[in-house]
Amino acid sequence: MPHRRLLDDCFLHDKDRLRHDEALAILRERLSPVAGIAPVALADALGRVCAEAVTAPRPVPAADNAAVDGYAFAHGDYEATGGFFPVTGRIAAGHPSSDVLPIGGAVRIFTGATVPGRADTVAMQEDCEPHEQDGRQFVVIPPGLKPGANRRKAGEDLMAGETIVEAGTVLRPQEIGAIASTGAASVGCFAPLKVAVLSTGDEILGSGAPFRPGAVYDSNRPLLSALLATLPVEVTDLGIVADRPEAVRSMLTEAAATHDAILSTGGASRGEEDHVIAALSDLGRRHMWQLAIKPGRPMTFGQIGDSVVLGLPGNPVAAFVCFVLYVRQAILALGGAAWREPRRYVLQADFEIARKKADRREFLRGVLVEDDRGTRRVTKFARDGSGLITSLREADGLIEIPEDVTAVASGDPVRFLPFSEVGLPSP
């Protein structure tokens, strides 16, 4: 990859702008965990970032046990008994017996109960015929069971010492269940990141305010706050900042002193009313600005002191796309998570693009469709406007058209990033 400047230049063409992969590389290289570590009760651990590898202190399951209700026996005894076994005991779950199974005997056993010494196979009760003879219990076990059938081996889920969860994992219900299966009540996690959210612009009006001509209700802040709510962060809502350089500067200065990251929208472009960029240069450092992508070109990453500033474009679709592509991963990385790129899946295009500019990567809003044979394809939302929140509601994900592709024909393979990859469920 050719070396490119970290951009500080407003008058660039796409071929000179920072490419998507380069922007990701800068974020990955420059962001490392900033949060402290503390134990978190499993009940509160969902979505948190695990800070220390968790290993199993003992095997799970701890002992060989029955997978079904039935009769446990030693498979090697089958031939000698001809399948006719005296029932020599009864073992229920939670009541293990220290008695070894007598040669040629079988024990009544229930699902989850520890299989006694010498027994290796469990026959399901529906397949067996119990008998009583002279006050003694017998069971006829049918032939054909494989040795080890219906027996769950100790350690078959986890072996003692096995790593269950690596540090840097965002804990899902599955990880919480696995940690709980070892008996642990808590897990060491990174503290939630402190993130401030603000909107900029004289035209922007807060929810519930009376409408005035020229105004635009603030959709970005609620949208981003809701996106952030899917991450392990504490959000401070800083409201709306007017298009005045000193107002933007003082808000950013205050926010930087008390937050790990600041997320702003608007004022990221190159107009003279775009004060976030100017303030960032004055107060701190800009690591990147102006990417060769669409939408989201004015996306900015910088820092004021130790606080990371992620300046997103004002257009709601651009802000959303930048969140999906960069901000989410950046916030997670700051919060201790291992970098995980949202996966893309290759689908057939159900749309055409006659001409696309080379040198920039485009992210179209993609809607999943099915053809006559039930094969999934992806089409693009009919209109491209960067202000159409409707398109975000309709879309199932983003279609990614790389820099070197200049046209797409119907049926072409295209890369699709489902929103479910970034924790947003389908409607």
Determine which residue in the list 81, 114, 121, 386 makes contact with ligand LQZAQKY5, applying CB under 6 A: 386
Among ligand MOO, ligand LQZAQKY5, none, the one that 204 touches (CB under a kind-dependent 5 to 8 A) is ligand LQZAQKY5
Query: How many Cβ atoms from other residues are within 10 Å of residue 185's Cβ?
Result: 10
Determine which residue in the list 65, 81, 220, 379 makes contact with ligand LQZAQKY5, applying CB under 6 A: 220
Query: How many Cβ atoms from other residues are within 10 Å of residue 283's Cβ?
Result: 19
**Does 204 help bind ligand LQZAQKY5 (rule: CB under 6 A)?**
yes
Nearest Cα to Cα of residue 62 among 180, 173, 152: 152
**Does 288 help bind ligand LQZAQKY5 (rule: CB under 6 A)?**
no
> For residue 217, what are the CA distances in angstroms to 208, 228, 274?
9, 20, 18
Distance in angstroms (rounded) separating the CA atoms of residues 389 and 382 = 13
The first and second tokens of residue 170, run together, are 């965002």
Return phi, psi of residue 348, to 5°: -80, 140
**Does 83 help bind ligand LQZAQKY5 (rule: CB under 6 A)?**
no
Determine which residue in the list 48, 194, 294, 361 makes contact with ligand MOO, applying CB under 6 A: 294
- Closer CB to ligand LQZAQKY5, residue 182 or residue 219? 219
**Does 267 help bind ligand LQZAQKY5 (rule: CB under 6 A)?**
yes
Nearest Cα to Cα of residue 18 among 399, 265, 289: 289
The single residue listed with the structure tokens 């067996």 is 128
**Does 7 help bind ligand MOO (rule: CB under 6 A)?**
no
Determine which residue in the list 386, 401, 403, 419 makes contact with ligand MOO, applying CB under 6 A: 386
- In the region spanning residues 292 to 331, those forming contacts with ligand LQZAQKY5, defined by CB under 6 A, are 295, 297-298, 313-316, 318
Distance in angstroms (rounded) separating the CA atoms of residues 264 and 247 = 14
Query: How many Cβ atoms from other residues are within 10 Å of residue 407's Cβ?
Result: 11
Distance in angstroms (rounded) separating the CA atoms of residues 301 and 277 = 10
CA-based R_g, the chain, Å? 30
Q: Are 65 and 155 in contact (CB under 8 A)?
A: no
Determine which residue in the list 49, 318, 327, 333 makes contact with ligand MOO, applying CB under 6 A: 318
- Closer CB to ligand LQZAQKY5, residue 201 or residue 397? 201
**Does 334 help bind ligand LQZAQKY5 (rule: CB under 6 A)?**
no
- We find the least distance from the C-beta atom of residue 269 to ligand MOO, in angstroms, to be 8
**Does 290 help bind ligand MOO (rule: CB under 6 A)?**
no
What does the buried/exposed string (b/e) look like for 111-139 if buried means 16 or more CB atoms within 10 Å of the residue's CB?
Answer: bebbbbebbbbbbbbeebeeeeeeeebbb
Among ligand MOO, ligand LQZAQKY5, none, the one that 218 touches (CB under a kind-dependent 5 to 8 A) is ligand LQZAQKY5
**Does 262 help bind ligand LQZAQKY5 (rule: CB under 6 A)?**
no
- We find the least distance from the C-beta atom of residue 384 to ligand LQZAQKY5, in angstroms, to be 12
Q: Tell me the residue ranges of DSSP E strands in 160-316.
A: 163-165, 186-190, 193-200, 204-205, 216-217, 233-241, 261-265, 285-289, 293-294, 300-304, 307-312
Distance in angstroms (rounded) separating the CA atoms of residues 109 and 320 = 56
Determine which residue in the list 121, 169, 182, 265 makes contact with ligand LQZAQKY5, applying CB under 6 A: 265
The type of residue at 268 is: A
Determine which residue in the list 182, 265, 315, 379 makes contact with ligand MOO, applying CB under 6 A: 315
Total residues at the site for ligand LQZAQKY5 (CB under 6 A)? 26
Determine which residue in the list 70, 201, 397, 418 makes contact with ligand LQZAQKY5, applying CB under 6 A: 201
> For residue 334, what are the CA distances in angstroms to 56, 119, 192, 337, 341?
27, 52, 10, 7, 15
The type of residue at 426 is: S
- We find the least distance from the C-beta atom of residue 200 to ligand MOO, in angstroms, to be 15
- Closer CB to ligand LQZAQKY5, residue 78 or residue 320? 320
- The residues binding ligand MOO (CB under 6 A) are 294-297, 313, 315, 318, 386
- The residues binding ligand LQZAQKY5 (CB under 6 A) are 199, 201, 203-204, 216, 218-221, 265-270, 274, 295, 297-298, 313-316, 318, 386-387
